[in-house]
Amino acid sequence: MLAFQGGDRRAFEALFARYTPRVLTFLTRMVRDRARAEELTQDVFVRIYNAADRYEARARFSTYVFGIAHNLALNELARAHRKHEQARPDLSALGAIDPAPGAEEQLDAERTRGRLERAIAELPERQRAAVLLRSEQGLDYEEIATALETSISSVKSLLHRARETLLAALGKEDA
């Protein structure tokens, strides 16, 4: 990012290539609408591009990126809620399920994944964001706290509640 601030467009292209799948994955699971998540991902990078001269490297770049993505996701969910258009969980957008015919273990794995994705989609927004940033994107507690603009103890609480719900969802259907 600092190289891009210095005028190196290729540095921005490298960031774009590296972070696009991560941001798009995060936003797709946050807003549960693939097409809208693509637009929001574009918005994230437009904001980064336009604000490059004001960027200060106070934290890891991933924290900066996911902080923007999280805010846009919350705005989108609030907008959809206001319009009574709460996005329907579009679980087909979360990855194609293509089990190999006859492979029972793989089918079980796909079922488990489907249950997990449904349970993630039903989590409260901030719990969903915290657990995705931790387990999918690999941010540590401090980075999640920065991205979500909250405290580390709040992150611990969000993660704990989210995991309780997810474990219960998986355990319930296993039973």
Partner 1 sequence: MECQRNPETIAEFVDGELGPAERAELEAHLPGCAPCRERVAAERRLGELLAALPAIEAPGDFEARFWARIGRERDAAPSLWDRLRGSIWPRVLTLGVAAAGLTLLLLLPRGGTTPPTAALRVPEADRPIVADSEDFELVQDPDMDAISMVDVLESWDDGSPAPDDAPPS
Q: Single out the segment in contact with partner 1 by CB under 8 A; choices: 32-40, 52-60, 63-71, 72-80.
A: 32-40
Q: Single out the segment in contact with partner 1 by CB under 8 A; choices: 35-43, 62-70, 74-82, 83-91.
A: 35-43
DSSP 34-72: HHHHHHHHHHHHHHHHHTGGG---SS-HHHHHHHHHHHH
Nearer CB in complex with partner 1: 129/166: 166
Q: Single out the segment in contact with partner 1 by CB under 8 A; choices: 42-50, 51-59, 70-78, 121-129.
A: 42-50
The angle at the Cα of 27, spanning 24 to 31, to the nearest 5 degrees, equals 140
Rounded Cα distance, 132 and 144, in Å: 10
Residue 79 within binding range of partner 1, rule CB under 8 A: no
> What does DSSP assign to residue 91?
G
109 residue type, one letter? A
Binder among 41, 62, 127, 146 for partner 1 (CB under 8 A)? 41
Rounded Cα distance, 164 and 109, in Å: 20
Rounded Cα distance, 137 and 130, in Å: 10
Binder among 15, 30, 31, 37 for partner 1 (CB under 8 A)? 37
Binder among 5, 150, 154, 157 for partner 1 (CB under 8 A)? 157
Task: Match 């273990």 to its residue by tokens.
Answer: 105
Interacting residues with partner 1 (CB under 8 A): 13, 16-17, 20-22, 24-25, 28-29, 34, 37-38, 41-42, 45-46, 49-50, 93-95, 112-113, 116-117, 131-132, 134-136, 140-141, 156-157, 159-160, 163-164, 166-167, 170
